[in-house]
Structure 1
Amino acid sequence: MQLPDSFYGSRKLVDIVENQTTYELKDSAMHIFETHAKAELVQLQFGSPVLASMLQGKKIMHLSNKQSFDFLPGESLILPSNELMSIDFPDSSKNTPTRCLALEIGEDRIKKVVQFMNEQMEKADGNEWRLMDYNFHFTNDPGLYKIIQRIVYLYAEKHPSKDFFVSNMMQELIVRILQANTRKTYNDHSKELSSTHRFAYIIEYIKQNLPQSLTVKELSEKAYMSESNFYKVFKQELGQSPIDFINQERIAKATDLLKDEECNLTDVFLSCGFKNRSYFNRMFKRINGTSPSQYQQRLKEEGLIN
């Protein structure tokens, strides 16, 4: 993610570790942190819920109720207010700084969006939307990536209406985060949730039948919903269409299979449920940013092929 030119014009480099540039609006604030030297166990805390999103470099995060993990570009993390983080910067240097965005969002704003979602966006089993699971670590999907990029630009822009612009974008950001949270919860726990959550059951069915032909009509029948309502509610609840979800799961399986040197590309795309090579290549590149053959070649060069 690229920072706007206006950021570089307004920042002041005071500290080499977690140098902070802050932009504040009515009920939110954006902080961009830069670290220009290796460091360990640097502590950071915010008084409001935070979306942290990596822009450049690598952090190792240590949180109170979660195992330490790498935090990399293209990934985000939701943190509750007053969460004390300890952070390592293993690769930071003067020429290759680590950069991270921290977006503070007022709890009242989050509650208002959740209320709006419960009024306007039905869930499949009548359950209500609730506040997001904190310490939720995820990879940004294209929609989230574009919103975060836009919000960074708006904060750094000198525009008299930027409070209004950011407010509108913030609502969409919260909605998409809650959808991503629901999608990940169902995906990670589909087997145990399948008896009580309709879409968890559908996701488990998809996982077990990836090599087969899967249609929205078939899935809607298994969910005991009309085809049109199933499509609408699935997208509302999980933030993506059933077909996009199926393709994402198929590409995730293909990505894993490509780690085995014995698997050729034809075997891979057929075993993942794709009917032709060109569509498989297109979906793989859209999701992973590279072609299947280039991905496998990179694995070989890095010694990661089994």
Structure 2
Amino acid sequence: MLDLSTAHYQNRKLENLVENRTVHTLKNAELNIFETHLQASQVLLKFQQPVLASMLKGKKIMHLADSPAFGFLPGESVILPANELMCIDFPEASFQNPTQCLALALSEEKLQEAVNLLNNRGLKQNGKEWSVMDYNYHFTNDIAIYQILQRLMFVFTENHPSKDIFSDLLIQELVIRILQVESKSMYLQKATTDPNNDRISFVIKYIRDNITEDLNVDLLSQKAFMSASNFYRTFKHELGSSPNDFIIEERLKIAESLLKDPKVSIKEAYLASGFNSFSYFSRIFKKKKNISPSEYKVKSNFMA
């Protein structure tokens, strides 16, 4: 969960109990921190620029144009277009447990610069250019996006003469990573619903169907009817991770699910998810989850 700095609490003025706003402005972006200390409903909010909203603490119910209402929780973000009216409910906010959310208003020029960078590195596999992400895109922050947002909160609130430069570079990386997360989400969905529609979706389905097999770039590139180098470059460009990293991610999802079952041993879990070595599995699991498989299993079974 993203954490507000001590400096924020020392410098902000709590003037309103519903959506109290603290603003930090730089040349190409504006960071808003909203805090709500009372239950409220149908609170309206609008920005003149595209916005990334990310929950820090508590819960909101978001009502956006042309989409069903959804719960907005810590660790989640949503991309909003300029001038979109948000209608927000705060069902659980209290003075002891305030709802906190950041809203990063972005320059459309800087958004397009990040998109242009991706296109300069290569088009999508279907020959189409990258474009600004779909608005009202609701997603869970991965570790990279989480770290960028945490860094941005620090940069906006520090007293440094070059913080405009720092924020521009961080926002550029943030936009690119969100575009790749969105692209990955699309391929994961297509791998389930229409895997024969494109090469990447087909390969993702093949990985999932053969997760315990010896999967490598040479084999997967053959399945995609691409050279190994082109397949590797395309996969990483569009999903933001290498094929090998994606395979590990998929295997860890399966292992994590199996470890929650008290009837499944750790050995059964790692073998069923495609890991052949317990020491390697344990090392990767702890690196990605910050907890060992045995600790995770005890914790999960205790909470069940």
TM-score (norm 1): 0.89
Residue 220 in 1 paired to residue 221 in 2? yes
The residue number in structure 1 matching 2:251 is 250
The Cα of 1:19 is off from its aligned counterpart by: 1.0
The Cα of 1:192 is off from its aligned counterpart by: 4.0
In structure 1, how many angstroms separate the alpha carbons of the residues matched to 2:87 and 2:172? Answer: 29
Residue 13 in 1 paired to residue 14 in 2? yes
Alignment of 1:202-217 (within 5 A): 202-217=203-218
| Of 97-106 and 172-181, the range deviating more from structure 2 | 97-106
In structure 2, how many angstroms separate the alpha carbons of the residues matched to 1:147 and 1:170? Answer: 8
1:170 aligns to what SS in structure 2? helix
Name the CA shift for 1:301/1:71 in 2 (closer, same or farther; >3 Å): farther
1:67 aligns to what SS in structure 2? coil
In structure 2, how many angstroms separate the alpha carbons of the residues matched to 1:286 and 1:64? Answer: 40
CA RMSD of aligned residues (A): 2.2
Name the CA shift for 1:298/1:103 in 2 (closer, same or farther; >3 Å): same
Amino acid paired to 2:73 = L
The residue number in structure 1 matching 2:112 is 111
| Of 34-43 and 202-211, the range deviating more from structure 2 | 34-43
Amino acid paired to 2:207 = I
The Cα of 1:183 is off from its aligned counterpart by: 0.6
**Sequence identity, in percent?**
47
2:197 aligns to what SS in structure 1? coil
The Cα of 1:145 is off from its aligned counterpart by: 1.6
Amino acid paired to 1:124 = Q
Name the CA shift for 1:69/1:255 in 2 (closer, same or farther; >3 Å): farther
The residue number in structure 1 matching 2:77 is 76
In structure 1, how many angstroms separate the alpha carbons of the residues matched to 2:203 and 2:293? Answer: 28
The residue number in structure 2 matching 1:51 is 52
Amino acid paired to 2:63 = H
Name the CA shift for 1:70/1:267 in 2 (closer, same or farther; >3 Å): farther
In structure 1, how many angstroms separate the alpha carbons of the residues matched to 2:105 and 2:237? Answer: 25
In structure 1, how many angstroms separate the alpha carbons of the residues matched to 2:287 and 2:94? Answer: 32
Q: Is the 8 A contact 1:125 1:198 kept in 2?
A: no
The Cα of 1:41 is off from its aligned counterpart by: 3.4
The Cα of 1:181 is off from its aligned counterpart by: 0.6
In structure 1, how many angstroms separate the alpha carbons of the residues matched to 2:260 and 2:36? Answer: 34
Name the CA shift for 1:296/1:42 in 2 (closer, same or farther; >3 Å): farther
Alignment of 1:146-295 (within 5 A): 146-295=147-296
Amino acid paired to 2:42 = L
The residue number in structure 2 matching 1:102 is 103
Name the CA shift for 1:266/1:168 in 2 (closer, same or farther; >3 Å): same
The Cα of 1:301 is off from its aligned counterpart by: 4.0
Cα deviation digits, residues 163-213 of structure 1 (max 9, x gap): 222112111111111011101110122244533322122112112111222
The Cα of 1:132 is off from its aligned counterpart by: 0.8
In structure 2, how many angstroms separate the alpha carbons of the residues matched to 1:193 and 1:49? Answer: 32
- The 4+ residue runs of structure 1 with deviation greater than 4 A are none
| Of 36-45 and 270-279, the range deviating more from structure 2 | 36-45
Q: Is the 8 A contact 1:38 1:92 kept in 2?
A: yes
In structure 2, how many angstroms separate the alpha carbons of the residues matched to 1:80 and 1:283? Answer: 38
Name the CA shift for 1:217/1:259 in 2 (closer, same or farther; >3 Å): same
Q: Is the 8 A contact 1:37 1:97 kept in 2?
A: yes
| Of 22-31 and 293-302, the range deviating more from structure 2 | 293-302
Q: Is the 8 A contact 1:191 1:201 kept in 2?
A: no
Unaligned runs of 5+ in 1: none
Name the CA shift for 1:256/1:70 in 2 (closer, same or farther; >3 Å): farther
Amino acid paired to 1:15 = N
The Cα of 1:75 is off from its aligned counterpart by: 2.0
Unaligned runs of 5+ in 2: none
Name the CA shift for 1:64/1:204 in 2 (closer, same or farther; >3 Å): same
In structure 2, how many angstroms separate the alpha carbons of the residues matched to 1:66 and 1:257? Answer: 34
The residue number in structure 1 matching 2:126 is 125
Q: Is the 8 A contact 2:261 2:301 kept in 1?
A: no
2:69 aligns to what SS in structure 1? strand
Amino acid paired to 1:34 = E
In structure 2, how many angstroms separate the alpha carbons of the residues matched to 1:178 and 1:59? Answer: 24
Name the CA shift for 1:248/1:106 in 2 (closer, same or farther; >3 Å): same
The Cα of 1:2 is off from its aligned counterpart by: 2.3
In structure 2, how many angstroms separate the alpha carbons of the residues matched to 1:45 and 1:28? Answer: 16
In structure 1, how many angstroms separate the alpha carbons of the residues matched to 2:187 and 2:36? Answer: 36
TM-score (norm 2): 0.90
The residue number in structure 2 matching 1:143 is 144
Amino acid paired to 1:66 = S
